[in-house]
Every structure is written in structure tokens, then in C-alpha cells.
Structure 1
């Protein structure tokens, strides 16, 4: 299986994105490349990464988001794999409006599984396409910034970038 990888310099550090030529399959940060590779191996088994600038115009859309064109993320097709439950959680993440946050419990309730907040958190942590599937918009029950695979400083930056007021949060 051949997949295409590109690197984007950003205020968050170097972003890696992987495409199958049509869809975004993975997006992570260079310091989490090992995690990204492991998730790709679980999904695809053996694969080869070929460097390609702006595969399926995804890199330019990520760059546009970083420059303030927030709607550009809506135009990125995603193929994340995962279990049926993970896919349900990841689809729900894409419905969280820009500039807002929800708790793990609120997201679980939205899915009709109000006691499954831990399972929602686990699915959130395995999201292979950070930023585009905005797992950074999910916060702890007491409005604290918890659980972001790319690190809490990146989560804080993304939320501030999207206009979320964080004064009362850690």
C-alpha cells in the first residue's frame, strides 16, 4: 500500500499529514511520528510512505486553517478507519462548532451513550487525524484541558486560535 506524506511548518511545530491520494488518513505532529506510524500499521499493515507536496490539496487547506480560514477544514475528506464506535465518535467531533467545546460526558450523551464518557475519551485519544477531526474541542468535566495526544500546549493553542476563551481553564 502506498500512502503520501507531507510536512507543514506551523506555529505548533512540524505537522505530518498522510493521504491515500484522495483522503486524509493521518495528521499528527513530527514529535509524535512514531504514534502516527503505529496507528497506520494497525490500519494498513505494510505500507510505504512516499513524500508528496500538498497531496489532494490537503496541505494547503491545513495551512489556510492555520492562517485563519477556519472553514477550510470542512473541505478535507477524511478516511480514518477505526471501529464502528470510533467512527461514530470521530464523526461527532466534526459537528462540534468552531469556537466551542464539549465535555467527554456531553459528547457521550450526544451519541446516546451517556455513561460511555471513558470510551469516548479513549476513541478521542486514538483519533488519527488531529485538527481536522477536532478532538481538541473536547475538555474535562470541570472545563479543564485534559487529554490531547499532541500535548496540552497544542490543545490550548488550537482552542485560542479558534476563539475559545480559556481564562478560567488551566
Structure 2
């Protein structure tokens, strides 16, 4: 069974989805890929997983670093799962690049290189926004690159974590 609910964040309304295992989705309304993968049959009902997610979001948006992660159940290919696992390792208030993630994966698999664009595709299809922190991935030059929730939202999430956003930042790219 799939359960859904909403959360009103300072950046807009979020749709939450969970099954019996964990959170399967957390999307900003009107974001690209909104509710992608959400089964047509679901129940709008509070569950312990959704309650934990709301508690996590309350802490996060109050400026605190949550000291727990609600149970997660992201759905995707093995490659996407690997990329999302790397995203979970990016500390609060820090960023990394698509290239750095690609290098980590290449090293893990004993390969010389891995496509940063492929990593970017997996990052972009992360269905559990904020908690699996795809907003912490930036371009090689430090520029803010694509974010399904919008570049303004990405900038506001990073600023909320204390990541300095330059007054005259590198150009904002939307091609990823």
C-alpha cells in the first residue's frame, strides 16, 4: 500500500509518499518529474514514516541539522541507487560536483572514468528531494545547475544550510 500526505514548507507545498518500508517520494509541487513513479492507487493517510518525515522537515526548515533520517525506500535502477547512496553522504552545509560523484563511482567499480552526465541524470531523477540531498550537487565551476524543484529553490535550500551563495555567483546553468 502507498500512503501520501502534504507538508507546507517555507519554499512551497511538498507531496510525501511512503510504503510500509520507507519514504518513496518527496516532491515540490510543480517541480519537474512531480510524483513520477507514484502509483495511481494510494491513500492519503498519516503513517509513522510520514510523521517521521514531517518531524525531519520541521527540524530542517527551522535551521537545525536533523539527527536522524526517516526510513527511505527510493525506487530506481541499481545505478541510480548507487548515485543516491552517494548523495546521502554529502554533509549538511557542504556541496560536491557531478564530476566528483562520477569519480567516486568509477573508483568503486575499478573504472578509469564514469560519465558525469549519467550521474547528473540520476541526481535529477531523485524522487526524495531534500532528504536525499541532490540540491548539494553543483557544477564543476561551482555554478548552480539544474534542480527539479527550480534553481531558486536550490539556492534557498543551500543558503538555509549556510552554504555561501556569492553575491555575483558563477552563472546559473539550467542545462543539467
Bucket of the pairwise TM-score, normalised by the shorter protein? 0.7 to 0.9
The corresponding residue for 1:49 is 42
CA distance in 2, matches of 1:156, 1:54: 31
Give structure 2 stretches of 5+ with no counterpart.
Answer: 171-176
SS at 1:36 equivalent? coil
Query: Using the alignment, how far apart are the partners of 1:119 and 1:15 within structure 2?
Result: 27
Q: Please tell me whether residue 169 in structure 1 is matched to residue 169 in structure 2.
A: yes
| C-alpha distance in structure 2 between counterparts of 1:52 and 1:70, whole Å | 27
TM-score (norm 1): 0.87
Gaps of 5+ in 1: 42-46
Residue 40 of structure 1 is matched in structure 2 by 38
Structure-2 residue corresponding to 1:65: 60
Q: Secondary structure at the match of 1:64?
A: helix
In structure 2, distance between residues paired with 1:119 and 1:55: 34
Asked if residue 86 in structure 1 is aligned to residue 80 in structure 2, the reply is yes
1:54, CA displacement in angstroms? 5.6
CA distance in structure 1 between the partners assigned to 2:10 and 2:47 by the alignment: 18
CA distance in 1, matches of 2:28, 2:133: 14
Displacement of 1:98 after TM fit?
A: 1.1
SS of 2:34's equivalent in the other structure is: helix
Tell me the residue number matched to 1:135: 134
| 1:104–1:120 contact (8 Å) kept in structure 2 | yes
Q: Contact 2:96/2:137 (CA < 8 Å) preserved in 1? A: yes
SS at match of 2:117: helix
**Greater mean alpha carbon deviation, residues 23-32 or residues 119-128:** 23-32
Partner of 2:151: 152
The CA deviation at 1:156 is 0.3
Distance 2:103 2:134 in 1: 16
C-alpha distance in 1 between matches for 2:15 and 2:169: 29
TM-score normalised to the size of structure 2? 0.84
Deviating 4+ runs (over 6 angstroms):
none
- Deviation of residue 5 (structure 1)? 0.9
Structure in which a larger fraction of residues adopt helix: 1
Contact 1:104 1:141 in 2 (8 A): yes
